[in-house]
Structure 1
């Protein structure tokens, strides 16, 4: 086994988590409840020092024995003919071998071959966050022998109740079957991950619930599987920078605002079902200081009421009809509070691109952050604003939250202001960005992502993809998700 470090120095800071999911399905006009996320705890040794591009694990099993530090928790694990072989004789036995340090941002890859399988439903997995003793809870990226099934690939959690919580499923273009080498790779950035099958990205999640110390593992269920060329590489922390050939992050502008009343929970649900990775919204305070989701300074355009949002109490705002203006079937939709929207995203899935709309005092920003923390959503919220003060307040009060600066025109020096504000992303008008696309590469070299707004046509998406932009804020999230799917298919 080779464990190497390309650079010396202390461990890098924890990466910025985020989110991504895919593929459009039906629209919905009602919001239903889901299960509350489970807390994750684990116990393994403290993480080793590592930096981006460090190769943390590199193992070809040429020594002929189990590598030092690899722990066969259960089942039969042996090294034979230059490959690690794991055997599980029962579909109820999730046999594991654990190894490696805890990492926040990493790529975990291996060559995997089913030598035999009791059925096409039996599987192998890369363990993404699992204690050294293999105890629950843990997270895995699963591949079945019958990978062409609708659940041939999965992201799943084994819960503290020893039950399955399958968060994302997908299929591969051909079956692994037996006797076939498949190069699998999982790229993890905090709570999000992407599944890569023989070089093709096929599945994403934003639902990983990370422990503070969990390491890595290989698992086998109801099969004999061999592994070779296991490699784990530390990645840079900005998960929002798109790798070449991968799809855009889909940011649903005010939800699915072309299909439902903007900034409502039904608009959010339609966007989520349409494949949006993030819901983009606007937050402002009521007269009594409650953060509400509303774009305009007044309620006149999008409700049956009148007046400035800051002049109306939360009780008055909640009494307004925020759906009838769009279409009769949405009568009775309400303006959600920030807490209500975050609770919906937490339980049903999804991430929030939260625009602090207009001037806010430090105390008003502090209230927004308080709500995010109370809803346990700091790892799934990205804050953006046109207001530099609001971003500075956010950075002071919640340095863990990623920040994006909205711009109608490009700054003379986007790099300078990105460094000044500690930005994760620079978020300009898409047309302004296309007039000067060279800034994208400059920002990427500085570790800053680029999110363009508000772009609704395939022609614009194609131009921005070629220019290297990372995310699109759009009124048409389902269409962009479909465009992304076509991009992945070449």
Structure 2
């Protein structure tokens, strides 16, 4: 299968920008080939800085049961005379006034914040926000997505400037332990928030992945949200007075892959950006990431000595300067191969990555992995794949797919936390029954197969199963699949598909 920034550090203005409407893949490849470093703070578990206030004892000692999917964890309309119970004002001014929560920050250097809620891996946070006054159009309000009860850094937030139509009007950002900014993603909103106007803002979070919505329209995604072991939710204000109302936090089912109303299709880069870089290499992954792909799809098979490697074919002949079956070559032999020179002279020296190397690359540089277990695997071989995923802390960012039902059953037995997708060249008579039997999160058919029975999309969606179609490179089919309501499209042309989807929003 197959931005305008001020010179002072007034807010989360600084960091690498990733847009779904990036340059075309060929230009991206040229940029990547000249890459020396990638500035991005890796997500990791971190605690509050030494000397910061601890959470209250009753909060720290109490272990509440995990909420069920769809359960409203916080539902606050600020009708009382004071701050809601359990909300902790950390910095700046917070008060309830005229049925709204009002936060005030005196200047660009004050990160006014109030913490609440509890740690959730999968949730949606939404609120109505209104800028009452601002120091300048670059000031912002934010939904805190992972913030310690103490309010001390590190924390992860989704920001909205009053000047939302600037290139960095909306951002996913992290305040690091060193009290600096790491901005991973920026976008402009479809309209200006300005002052005196209510806007409905929402972020849906699934582990390290998140989707930003502005007035009911999805405007940005990230797969690089830094998470902690215990951070809850918060509201933040910088250089402005902002009022909030109708705030809600809803627990969600883990690994929600269904496309939300009004959202674009998910872009899944087939073997990385395989039309612009040597397939199944870290270079191809980097081009796909910069192109705006939501997920990177790659294949995994074991070496002779049992090490999982990223390769599609049974042999290394087509894509490298070597010969032989991957299962007959040791890890050392695979490491010595050139996987780039056959694609282009400029990419000579690219290597066949081990799964561990690919997971490490995704963890540190960003991205989620649609991982195909290629061909028949024993239970022990699947167990080694699961071990690599867990060892790299990537369980929340990997969806395992395969044509091999046994491989999926082994994965489900060994790692029930990993979502599963079934690849099909032809449709099953009853895809929903198959999905239920295997416990699938996604049913991933060939384009031609789905074209014959597009009605199965609605049936699978009704059963809570996503549909990702492979491998589609033509805009006419993108349009048809988009209209059919599929959740994702696996493509060799992620830059073009990302740009196509963005242009249709």
Question: What whole-Å deviation, never above 9, does each CA across 1:24-66 have from its counterpart, x for those lacking one?
Answer: 2241243644444332347655456533333332222233332
Deviation per CA, 1:89-109: give whole Å up to 9, x if none. 132221111222333322211
1:22 is matched with which residue: 11, 20, 23?
A: 20
| Equivalences for residues 47-446 of structure 1 within 5 A | 47=64, 50-446=67-463
CA contact (8 A) 1:139 1:158 kept: yes
Quote the RMSD (CA, aligned, Å). Answer: 1.9
**Structure 1 portions without partners, runs of 5+:** 1-19
TM-score, normalised by the number of residues in structure 1: 0.91
Q: Relative to structure 2, which stretch is displaced further, 391-400 or 45-54?
A: 45-54
Q: Which residue of 1 aligns with 2:464?
A: 447
The answer to whether the 8 Å contact 2:217/2:262 transfers is: no
Deviation of residue 284 (structure 1)? 0.9
Report deviation, 1:198.
1.6
In structure 1, C-alpha distance between the alignment counterparts of 2:333 and 2:368, rounded to whole Å: 28
CA distance in 1, matches of 2:242, 2:338: 58
Contact 1:47 1:213 survives alignment (8 Å): no
Q: Are the aligned partners of 2:275 and 2:492 in contact in 1 as well (CA < 8 Å)? A: yes
- For residues 76 and 325 of structure 1, the distance between their equivalents in structure 2, rounded to whole angstroms, comes to 62
Tell me, what secondary structure is at the counterpart of 1:184?
strand
Q: Please say if residues 341 and 347 of structure 2, whose CA atoms lie closer than 8 Å, have aligned partners that are also in contact.
A: yes
Native 8 Å contact 2:140 2:160 kept in 1: yes
Q: Note the residue ranges of structure 2 that are not aligned, 5 or more in a row.
A: 1-17, 49-54
Helix, strand or coil at the partner of 2:393: coil
Aligned length: 469
Instruction: State the Cα deviation string for residues 252-310 of structure 1 (Å, max 9, x = none).
Output: 11111111221112211111111111111111111122211111101111112211111
CA pair 318-213 structure 1, distance change in 2 beyond 3 A: closer
In structure 1, C-alpha distance between the alignment counterparts of 2:42 and 2:67, rounded to whole Å: 33
Instruction: Name the CA distance, whole Å, in 1 between partners of 2:165 and 2:256.
Output: 28
Q: Answer yes or no: is the 8 Å Cα contact 2:43–2:227 preserved in 1.
A: no
CA contact (8 A) 1:302 1:322 kept: yes
For 2:351 and 2:254, the matched residues in 1 are separated by: 37
Instruction: Evaluate the alpha carbon distance shift between residue 376 and residue 231 of structure 1 in structure 2; reply closer, same or farther with a 3 A threshold.
Output: closer
Q: Distance in 2 between matches of 1:47 and 1:191?
A: 23
CA distance in 1, matches of 2:233, 2:189: 23
CA distance, structure 2, for counterparts of residue 168 and residue 381 of structure 1: 20
Contact conserved, 2:42 with 2:226, CA < 8 A, in 1?
A: no
**Aligned equivalents of 2:393, 2:70: Cα separation in 1:** 31
TM-score when scaled to structure 2? 0.88
Shift of 1:217: 1.3
Distance 1:284 1:21, change over 3 A: farther
Distance 1:47 1:438, change over 3 A: farther
**2: CA distance between counterparts of 1:456 and 1:392?**
31
Deviation of 1:353 after TM superposition, in Å, equals: 0.9
Per-residue deviation, 1:157: 1.5
**Secondary structure of the corresponding residue to residue 28 of structure 2:** coil
Describe how 1:464-479 pairs up with structure 2 within 5 A. 464-479=481-496
Question: Bigger shift: 321-330 or 424-433?
Answer: 321-330
CA contact (8 A) 2:396 2:418 kept: yes
How many angstroms apart in 2 are the aligned matches of 1:86 and 1:185? 18
- Provide, for residues 402-433 of structure 1, a one-character-per-residue CA deviation record: whole Å limited to 9, x for no partner: 11111111111212221222111111112211
Q: SS of 2:68's equivalent?
A: coil
SS of 1:336's equivalent in the other structure is coil
By how many angstroms is 1:133 displaced?
A: 2.3
Q: Secondary structure at the match of 2:409?
A: helix
Q: Which residue of 2 aligns with 1:8?
A: none
Contact kept in structure 1, 2:125 and 2:248, CA below 8 Å = yes
Contact 2:255–2:419 (CA under 8 A) maintained in structure 1: no
